[in-house]
Amino acid sequence: MHKTIQNLIDIQKKIDLSLDTLTINKVPKIIAVSKTFGMDKISPLINHGHTDFGENKVQEAIEKWSDIKLSNKNIKLHLIGGLQTNKVKLAVKLFDFIHSVDSEKLAKKISDEQKKQKKELKIFIQVNIGDEQQKSGIHKSLVSDLYKYCKSLNLNVVGLMCIPPLEKPSDIFFKEMSILNQDLNLNELSMGMSSDYLDAIKNSATYVRIGSDIFGARG
DSSP E strand boundaries for the chain:
29-33, 52-55, 76-79, 97-101, 122-127, 156-162, 188-190, 207-210
Asked if 7 contacts 45 with a C-beta cutoff of 8 angstroms, the reply is no
Given a cut of 80, is residue 107 above it in pLDDT? yes
**In terms of CATH, what superfamily is 3-10+27-214?**
Alanine racemase (3.20.20.10)
Residues 49-95 pLDDT 10s = 999 999 999 999 999 999 999 999 999 999 999 999 999 999 999 99
HSE-up of residue 89 (Cα within 13 Å, Cβ side)? 2
| Higher-scoring residue by pLDDT: 117, 132 | 117
Which pTM does this prediction carry? 0.96
Please check the confidence at residue 156 and state whether its pLDDT lies above 70. Answer: yes
What pLDDT, on the 0 to 100 scale, is given for residue 24? Answer: 74
Neighbours of 185 (CB within 10 A): 6
Percent of the chain whose pLDDT exceeds 90 = 89
What confidence tens digit (pLDDT) does each residue in 12-59 have? Answer: 999 999 888 887 778 899 999 999 999 999 999 999 999 999 999 999
> Does the pLDDT at position 167 exceed 90?
no
Cβ-contact 126, 102 below 8 angstroms: yes
